[in-house]
Chains A and B, each alone.
Chain A
Amino acid sequence: MPLSLTIVTPEGVRYEGQVERVVIPGSEGDFGVLPGHERFLSPVRIGELEVDGGGRRWAAVSDGFAEVNGDRVVLMVDSCEFAGDIDTARAERAKMRAEREIEQLRQQHDEALGFRLEEAALQRALIRLQVASKPHRPM
């Protein structure tokens, strides 16, 4: 297997080994890397990483960068967890919490948006009244 893959996070090296192919969630879209890829650098978005080397494995990665250098691939990401290592209960809790927060923010935002719309309507009405009070002269 001629492609060497290293995944590093601030908490340590998460993976180091030889693989056949990786599919990386780049910021501009997923891209696959095979041996002999050009020197390449791309941001990594939160997404699914696919590692193919004698059976395929998946990992959840978050923001970072991917550096492809000949037959070496280095992923520098905030976190990387392979399918078996994921604490699903914790992820569920985080999901619920985030959804709740987003819903709250959206309501606030809607209120703010409504306020701005009403404010604009008020301003339009005021200007109309102000102008209407000026002399009416035919053009």
Chain B
Amino acid sequence: MPSLKDIRRRITSVKKTQQITRAMRMVAAAKLRRAQEAIESARPYANRMRDTLVEVAASQGSEHPLLAVRESVRNVDYIVITSDRGLCGAFNAAVLKRSEGEIAQRQSGVDRVAIVAVGRKSSEFFARRRGGQIVARVSGIARVDIGHARDIAAAASERFLSGETDEVVLVHSEFVSTMTQRPRVVRLLPLAPEPSESPEAKAPFTIEPDAESLLRLLVPKAIEIEVFRALLDNQAGEHAARMTAMESATRNTEEMISRLTLQYNRARQAAITKELVEIVSGAEAL
């Protein structure tokens, strides 16, 4: 039976933890709002770009090397995106588990699987794991901007064009809502442009200088956007997951405090009763 003092100390300590979890929840909520805004802001650009790409690629017959599917796929790169920090529930674990499953399935059919680890949790995970060698790491992204996406996309494209890899797969967390984040696996290279909605038949564009040069500029941009989207989703998902995790942690501390308080009161009552009994029995003895 813990003493009164022990229980009191315990309550104070849990209260301090609660302050931390509550503050973290609030910070995550603020960051989540910004991250959601960033997703919303990027959407019109991404949709526009995709529609244009689809139309130009269709009129051109997908001649661009970054769109060409290779007959034999021997080397595959996986870009696995996680957060840098933990304390966000099963957010990173879900992505890592999914990517591990994907890689295990794929590994038997290809010569080599390489990992591009984005986020510290991803690089820590794949450093421990055998098979699938890390070829690049990216971390320390405080706030995602298109520049980060450009670097990752450019590096992936270069490896693809030089023949170091025949396919690049992106594994990241998709931001569905504050409550739901889902791992998503998508082929980044060769890029398969998908229309955002069924395009109506239109008169062909007059393209300047010509479709081929335009495609040469358009395709790298489209790849960039795909990576950008993944980074933004990851960012929003991380904050959402942390917010939810900290919310339930705060709830747990509340529960714990009320249980401890009850215990404390009971112990106090017991001590008082014991004292009374002693006094009474002492008086009776006289």
Chain A residues with CB under 8 Å of chain B are 6, 8-13, 26-28, 38-43, 63-65, 67, 69, 74, 76, 78
Decide if the interface of chain A is mainly helix, strand, loop or mixed: strand
Proximity bits, B145-184, A CB within 8 Å = 1, else 0: 1100000000000000000000000000000000000000
Give min CB distance, A16 to chain B, whole Å. 9
Q: Bound state CA distance, A39 and B52, in angstroms? A: 12
A76 engages B48 (CB within 8 Å): yes
The answer to whether A8 touches B56 (Cβ under 8 A) is no
Query: Does A39 contact B48, Cβ atoms closer than 8 Å?
Result: no
- Say if the beta carbon of B91 comes within 8 Å of chain A: no
How far does the alpha carbon of A13 sit from the alpha carbon of B45 in the complex, in Å? 8
Q: Is the CB of A41 within 8 A of B45?
A: no
In the assembled complex, how far is the CB of residue B226 from the closest CB belonging to chain A, in whole angstroms? 12
Question: In the complex, are the beta carbons of B208 and A65 less than 8 A apart?
Answer: no
Interface residues of B in 199-236 (CB under 8 A from A): 202-209, 213-214, 217-218, 221, 225, 228
- Judged by a CB distance under 8 angstroms, whether B127 is at the interface is no
Q: In the assembly, what is the distance between CA of A8 and CA of B209, in Å?
A: 22
Interface residues of B in 42-80 (CB under 8 A from A): 42, 44-46, 48-49, 52, 56
- Residue B41 interfacial (CB < 8 Å): yes
Give Cα A63 to B49, complex, Å: 13
Having A12-B42, A65-B218, A76-B48, one finds 19 other A-B pairs with CB under 8 Å, namely A6-B44, A9-B45, A10-B42, A10-B228, A12-B41, A26-B208, A27-B209, A38-B206, A40-B206, A41-B205, A41-B206, A41-B207, A43-B214, A63-B217, A65-B217, A65-B221, A67-B48, A69-B202, A74-B48
Of the A-B pairs whose beta carbons lie under 8 Å apart in the complex, a sample of 22, sorted by A's number, is A9-B45, A10-B46, A10-B145, A10-B146, A11-B41, A12-B40, A12-B41, A12-B45, A13-B44, A27-B208, A28-B208, A39-B203, A41-B52, A41-B56, A42-B207, A42-B214, A64-B221, A65-B52, A65-B217, A65-B221, A67-B205, A76-B52
Q: Give chain B nearest CB distance to A36 CB in angstroms.
A: 14
Which of B56, B208, B209, B225 touches A40 (beta carbons < 8 Å)? B208
Do B208 and A10 touch (CB < 8 A)? no
Main secondary structure of the interface of B (DSSP, over half): helix
Q: Which residues of B contact A74 (CB under 8 A)?
A: 48
Contacts of A13 in B (CB 8 A): 41, 44
Which residues in B have their C-beta under 8 angstroms from that of A26? 208
Complexed CA–CA distance, A69 and B202 (Å): 10
Interface residues of B (CB under 8 A from A): 38, 40-42, 44-46, 48-49, 52, 56, 145-146, 202-209, 213-214, 217-218, 221, 225, 228
The residues of B that contact A27 with a CB separation of less than 8 Å are: 208-209
User: How far is B202's CA from A18's CA once the two chains are assembled, in angstroms?
Assistant: 23
Known: A67-B52, A78-B146. A42 touches B208 (CB 8 A): yes
Q: B208–A76 contact, CB under 8 A?
A: no
Q: Which residue of B lies closest to A41 (CB)?
A: B205
Could you tell me the distance between the alpha carbons of A34 and B221 in the complex, rounded to whole angstroms?
28
Measured CA separation A74–B34 after assembly (Å): 26
Complex formed: what's the CA distance from A26 to B45 in Å? 19
| Chain A residues within 8 Å of B41, by CB | 10-13
